Chain A
Amino acid sequence: NAGVTQTPKFRILKIGQSMTLQCTQDMNHNYMYWYRQDPGMGLKLIYYSVGAGITDKGEVPNGYNVSRSTTEDFPLRLELAAPSQTSVYFCASSYYFIRDSNSPLHFGNGTRLTVT
């Protein structure tokens, strides 16, 4: 079981370029999330989805877009990369938000993005 798979692992972008961070899960989870982690900071929620076709903003959505056309995939789009978007991005999934210890978030291994 692969769990949550993120690609690419690393990427360097120039200011103004665009890219899509890919995330796929094979656990048939309904809920998926994108978090970013800046150095010395916790994980901040960018966007989340409670099912195919449904997405919602998190704490720091500006500069990002998402789509959820299938249960498995939840790509994150950066349209005009800025240095402030330099971060490590984590995708996660769960059956429900968090109902009990049997349904914790499962995280991917992250994408390290540098914008110069």
Chain B
Amino acid sequence: DQQVKQNSPSLSVQEGRISILNCDYTNSMFDYFLWYKKYPAEGPTFLISISSIKDKNEDGRFTVFLNKSAKHLSLHIVPSQPGDSAVYFCAASVSGNTPLVFGKGTRLSVIA
């Protein structure tokens, strides 16, 4: 029973355009969400997070949007760069007091 779902296994975007990665969750107790980025042969690295008291958080080219009523969040990357090509994992936690639950990941390919 997947509590965090990333339904798109892969996404291909042209350099300079916007990348939108989506994530849905089923557990209404989740109130803290994070995105991690993973390159091959490396561990995931933290990218950006959002708590349920906000509906948007921005950090440079990366913005995460949270729609609590739809139990949906998305990561926007603008503009996309070839170095953004990686697997992106969505993760969630309850009150920041429980271990992270991860989605299956979306592989982003940014084409020059």
Contacts and interface: CB of A to CB of B under 8 A. Distances in A.
A and B bind: yes
Interface of A: 4, 33, 35, 40-45, 48, 58, 90, 92, 96-101, 104-110
Ordered nearest first, which 3 A-B pairs have the shortest CB separation? Answer: A107-B43, A104-B46, A42-B102
Interface string B77-96: 00000000000010001001
B100 A98 contact: yes
Contacts of A96: 96-97
A96 to B, nearest CB: 7
Given A97-B97, A100-B96, A104-B34, A42 B89 contact: yes
B16 interface: no
A97 B91 CA distance: 13
Interface of B: 4, 6, 9, 32, 34, 36, 41-46, 48-49, 51, 89, 93, 96-105
A42 B4 contact: yes
7 contacts: A42-B89, A48-B99, A101-B49, A105-B36, A105-B44, A107-B43, A110-B42
A98 B6 CA distance: 21
A107 B97 CA distance: 18
Given A42-B6, A98-B100, A109-B42, 12 more contacts: A41-B104, A42-B105, A43-B44, A45-B99, A58-B99, A90-B43, A98-B32, A98-B49, A100-B96, A101-B46, A105-B100, A109-B43
A35 B42 CA distance: 14
